[in-house]
Amino acid sequence: MENIQNNATEVATENVANATSENFNAAEDAASSNNSTLTEMEDQNSEVVSTTKIAIIDGEEREILVAHTKYAMELPKDKKELCKKLDPSKMLSVIYHLTKPDLFWQEGYDLYDENGNIIKEGTPDVLVHVQTSEDYWRVGLEDKLERVEIVEFSTIQEYAQTVGSTNLYSRGMTDTEKVGVAALATGNKAYMAVYEFAKEHKLNLTTARQYLDVSMDKAQIFEMSIGLVPDNVPKQGRTKKQAADLLKLAEKVFGKNARKRYVIRPLNSLAHQDYSSDMIKQALKAITESEAIKVEAASPDDRESLVSNMLTRHIQSNPQTEDVANQEA
Last residue of a domain, one of 148, 166, 184: 166
Please check whether residue 206 lies inside any domain of the structure: yes
CA dihedral 286, 291, 292, 296 (to 10 degrees): -160
pLDDT higher than 60, residue 329:
no
What is the reported pLDDT for 297? 95
What is the reported pLDDT for 134? 92
Predicted confidence band of residue 18 (pLDDT cuts 50, 70, 90): very low
Task: Tell me the whole-structure pTM to 2 decimals.
Answer: 0.74
Please check whether residue 6 lies inside any domain of the structure: no
Q: Provide the domain limits for residue 245.
A: 175-328
pLDDT higher than 50, residue 26:
no
Please check whether residue 11 lies inside any domain of the structure: no
- Average pLDDT over the chain, rounded to an integer: 84
Mean pLDDT confidence for 195-221: 96
Last residue of a domain, one of 136, 166, 196: 166
Please check whether residue 105 lies inside any domain of the structure: yes
Mean pLDDT confidence for 276-282: 94
pLDDT higher than 70, residue 322:
no
Count Cβ atoms below 10 Å from residue 231 Cβ, excluding itself: 4
Please check whether residue 7 lies inside any domain of the structure: no
134 and 233 share one domain: no
Last residue of a domain, one of 121, 144, 166: 166
Count Cβ atoms below 10 Å from residue 207 Cβ, excluding itself: 20
Please check whether residue 1 lies inside any domain of the structure: no
What is the reported pLDDT for 319? 58
What is the reported pLDDT for 48? 52
284 and 189 share one domain: yes
256 and 205 share one domain: yes
69 and 30 share one domain: yes
List Cβ neighbours of 22 (8 Å cut-off, separation of 6 or more).
Answer: none
179 and 198 share one domain: yes
3-state SS, 175-229, equals HHHHHHHHHHHHCCHHHHHHHHHHHHHCCCHHHHHHHCCCCCCHHHHHHHHCCCC
Going along 141-182, which residue ranges are E strands? 144-145, 148-150
Each residue's pLDDT tens digit, 165-190: 999 999 889 999 999 999 999 999 99
- How far from each other are the two terminal CA atoms of the chain, in whole angstroms? 78
161 and 194 share one domain: no
184 and 320 share one domain: yes
Edge to edge, the sheet with strand 144-145 lists 144-145, 53-57, 60-67, 126-129, 96-99, 148-150
259 and 115 share one domain: no
272 and 161 share one domain: no
Question: Lowest mean pLDDT: which of 59-68, 73-82, 104-113, 128-137?
Answer: 73-82
Number of folded domains in the chain?
Answer: 2
Count Cβ atoms below 10 Å from residue 156 Cβ, excluding itself: 15
What is the reported pLDDT for 193? 97
Mean pLDDT confidence for 6-23: 39
pLDDT higher than 70, residue 61:
yes
Q: How far apart are CA 33 and CA 224, in angstroms?
A: 48
pLDDT higher than 60, residue 36:
no
Please check whether residue 283 lies inside any domain of the structure: yes
Mean pLDDT confidence for 203-220: 95
Predicted confidence band of residue 43 (pLDDT cuts 50, 70, 90): very low
250 and 198 share one domain: yes
Please check whether residue 2 lies inside any domain of the structure: no
Amino acid found at 89: S
| 137 touches 15 (CB < 8 A) | yes
191 and 249 share one domain: yes
258 and 209 share one domain: yes
